[in-house]
Structure 1
Amino acid sequence: MKKLHIFILSSFTPKLLLTFLIALFVLLMQFLWRYIDELVGKGLEWTVIAELMMYASASLVPMALPLAILMASLMTFGNLGEHNELTALKSSGISLVQILSPLIIFTIILSILAFLFSNHVLPYSNLKMRSLIYDIRQQRPEFQLKEGVFNNNIDDFSFRVNYKDPKTGLLKDIIIYDHTEQNGNTKVTIADSGYMKMTANKAHLIVTLYHGRTYIESNENISYSRKKGYYPHRKEKFDKQTFYINMDGFDFERTSESLFRNHYQMMNIKQLKYY
């Protein structure tokens, strides 16, 4: 009987592990597909993505484990029935309960471990995952210039370039609308070429322009001037111009996890009694 139990368990456990990994992978891909729009285009480090996948995998264990047990049981006893091994065991006087007893004991132990996991590990992983998803949602899209398309990711500025050299980073035919004064398109800079690069700490964007002009529309008596058919403005010509743009909001910042601790998914049984 001991050899029979070892045989049943040795047939069941590899299938359980395999089906568990497959079920977890499928659920993880579903999770990734759900949040893919919030992950791409934000310049996140691979460590942040890996951390999110790790906590998401832990939170999906309670769903993947029952599926794995079901599929592994079907595969194990399906193979036994296909090779007439169940018939041979029954004909030798071994009841179905005796055949199933090692798996029943094994699943009871597995259920206890799953309960401990759900009570202690799952709330922690849910807390980490939810807070990380919140931080990713708050992260602003990465600043990337595309040829011929206006980029409005930076507050109070709108950029457009007609050509970007992929090797040197040289930009040509640059148009920059400055909305810092909140007066509409009253200040625009046009340059033949230039460069844009981040500082070492990624706190500012350094914009260097060559051979351009800046047009600044005057706000004095603007309504009267427009009625008369002319628009007073100031034009500044430059050979080289450099200015810095604040890049607040582009750094990945972590929110305090205390904001999410009061949710029931982040609590164990003891904490839920006082919820």
Structure 2
Amino acid sequence: MGKFINKLQIDLLKRHVNPFLFCFFTLMFLLLMQFLILHIDNLIGKDIPLKVIIELILTNLAYMVVLAAPMAVLVATLMAYGKFSELNELTALRASGINPMKIIRPVLITSLLLFVGLAWFSNNVLPEANQKARSLFIDIRVKKPGFELKPNIFYDGIEGYTFLVEKIDGETDSLYDITLFQKPENNRDRAYIIAEKGLLVSKNAQALNLNLMNGYSLKFTQPKRGNNTLIERNTFDKHVMTLDLSDLSFMRSDPEDRNRSDRTMSSRAMFIVVDSLYKEVNKQVAMAGKDSSLIASRKYGGGESYFVHQQMSKNTNTKPIPAFESGYIVPNHFDNASTQRSLLSESIRQLTEYQKRLESIQSNIEWRKKRIARYLVEIHKKLSIPFACVVFILFGAPVGIMTKRGNFGFAALISTVVLTFYWVALIQGEKLADRLLVSPFIGMWTFNIVLSIAGIYLIIHLATGFSIKDLFKKSD
């Protein structure tokens, strides 16, 4: 019997391999296509080297692996156990007196190993890949489009110049009816150039010669003395200009020179940041308490305040106005109304300043708490998404057995419904945690916990026949 169980367990594990690989690579392809569709505008038309585009795609494959693996596990589990139940192998297993949990155990252990590997990947490989991809995205975003003149459209892609060309011959790189505005930059004077014809000649990868023919130029020169601008007119048969195209070339930057965000940091690095943020929050709280003690220590009763002594000394040479009965306790200790009024105005001023300081401290604390929540969300996410591999085994195995269908279409249908709820819950949980409405743990783990409880209940139901209805029967 033991050999039979081992063979059956190995057979079930093998049944997971093909559906898992097929679904995994299918999802990777779909995610890759989605990525290309979203970013195709940033990659085309900028003369970016193919090597850079391939590197950008490879670095973005890291997050796709983390997303695709749990989804592939769910589909493979539904198909493998659905086929197992469809062939009535479960009935034979039960007839032999074998607990169905034994056929789930090896797959569950495998999912735990996958969880550990995926969690390591998410914590060590994914942040570095995200940092490189982020750096590449920034480099691509700041790169200007190539030198592409279009007829009757102003072009200012080259720094310091604005072009307007009426006609372009693409075969000979000839330009006709050219208007060129030269900006007063880099020791150049402002100039206005008109030419009947021009010819573009490539000098090297970062420079381009523009040969202008039959035209004239207006050069606006600002003399060192005086405010009058000198206008110099020159006609030419041929005029050669060298255009610097270095700004149009793609430049790589070092990813390590860029600041890291929560998605480009390991859990250890984020814990360090969180710890420092907690210390800053405690400092802000201590500052608020210190300010309140300063306000409280400024006693006005009994004539102890320096401010009150000052007010009383000011009123020694004038006839004091008799004090009036106030609704406040402290002002009633003084003999004249002017001191009372000064005391009240000073108290209100200090309390207003204290209120503003408290509001500033409160906003600083809230900002730091939101940063803490964002880092903690990312830390929990590095574990909750990989742990979905285990959750989907707990839920998918009994569901697959109960549905008794091992075809891909049915498994894909159930997986689509479950994964839709899972990702919606994960995204909404992240948003709620970032807004401090729920804790990061609840935001990232709620659906995992709910689905795990549902899966454990279904496994117990398959193994023992236990149902929730039995609890109510016993209570009755």
Identify, as 1 or 2, the structure richer in strand. 1
- Give the structure 2 partner of residue 264 of structure 1: 262
Q: Which string of whole-angstrom CA distances, capped at 9 and with x for unpartnered residues, describes residues 61-115 of structure 1?
A: 2222111111222232333344444444444444321222221121111111111
Matched position secondary structure for 2:237 = strand
- Between the aligned partners of 2:17 and 2:192, the Cα distance in structure 1 is 68
Corresponding residue number in structure 2 for 1:206:
209
Gaps of 5+ in 2: 274-476
1:203-222 Cα shifts (integer Å, max 9, x gaps): x23211222232446779xx
Q: Which residue of 2 aligns with 1:8?
A: 12
Determine whether 1:102 maps to 2:106. yes
SS of the residue corresponding to residue 95 of structure 1 reads coil
Question: What is the rounded CA distance, in whole Å, between the counterparts of 1:30 and 1:126 in structure 2?
Answer: 17
Q: Which SS does the other structure have where 1:147 is aligned?
A: coil
Partner of 1:243: 241
Q: SS at 1:55's partner residue?
A: helix
Counterpart amino acid of residue 271 in structure 1: A
Mapped partners of 1:194, 1:237: distance in 2:
15
Aligned counterpart for 1:56 among listed residues 56, 60, 75:
60
Q: Counterparts of 2:200 and 2:97 in 1: how far apart (Å)?
A: 82
CA contact (8 A) 2:131 2:260 kept: no
Amino acid at match of 2:135: S
2:133 to 122, 126, 129: 129
Q: Which residue of 1 aligns with 2:462?
A: none
| Amino acid in the other structure paired with 1:6 | I
Structure 2 counterpart of 1:153? 157
Q: CA deviation at 1:52?
A: 0.5
* AA partner of residue 102 (structure 1): P
Residues 211-256 of structure 1: per-residue CA shift (max 9 Å, x gap): 2232446779xxxx9xxxxxx9544322221111223422222223
Is residue 70 of structure 2 the alignment partner of residue 66 of structure 1?
yes
Query: Is contact 1:208-1:240 (8 Å) kept?
Result: yes
Q: Which structure has the larger Rg?
A: 2
Q: Bigger CA drift: 211-220 or 13-22?
A: 211-220
User: How many angstroms apart in 2 are the aligned matches of 1:93 and 1:160?
Assistant: 87
In 1, Cα distance between equivalents of 2:260 and 2:103:
46
Whether the aligned pair in 1 keeps the contact of 2:158 and 2:247 (CA below 8 Å) is no
Q: Output the CA distance in 2 between the equivalents of 1:74 and 1:245.
A: 63
Task: Indicate if the aligned counterparts of 1:260 and 1:266 stay in contact, CA closer than 8 A.
Answer: no
The residue aligned with 1:143 is 147
Task: Give secondary structure in 2 for the equivalent of 1:23.
Answer: helix
Q: Which amino acid in structure 1 is aligned with residue 34 of structure 2?
A: Q
Residue 376 of structure 2 corresponds to none
Question: Whole-Å Cα distance in 1 between the matches of residues 94 and 183 of structure 2?
Answer: 83
Partners of 2:248 and 2:15 lie apart in 1 by 52
The match for 1:45 among 45, 49, 60 is 49
Residue 389 (structure 2) aligns with: none
Could you tell which deviates more after superposition, 34-43 or 50-59? 34-43
Residue of structure 2 aligned with 1:23, choices 24, 27, 52: 27
3-state SS of paired residue (1:209)? strand
| Structure 1 residues without counterparts, runs of 5 or longer | 226-231
TM-score (norm: length of structure 1)? 0.82
- Matched to 1:166, the amino acid is G
Deviations 1:38-58 (Å, cap 9, x if unpaired)? 323221111111100000001
- The answer to which of 50-59 and 101-110 deviates more is 101-110
- CA change 1:8–1:247 in 2 (3 A) is same
Deviations 1:110-130 (A, max 9, x none): 111111211221121112111
What SS class does the counterpart of residue 238 from structure 1 fall into?
Answer: strand
**Structure 1 residues 87, 143: CA separation in 2 closer, same or farther (over 3 Å shift)?**
farther
The aligned length equals 264
Residue in 1 that maps onto 2:473: none
Moved more, 205-214 or 8-17: 205-214
Q: Report if aligned partners of 1:261, 1:267 keep a CA contact under 8 Å in 2.
A: no
Q: Structure 2 CA distance, aligned partners of 1:144 and 1:91? A: 77
Distance change (3 Å), C-alpha of 1:189 and 1:13:
same
- Is the 1:174–1:194 contact (alpha carbons within 8 Å) kept by the matching residues of 2? yes
1:252 to 233, 247, 250: 250
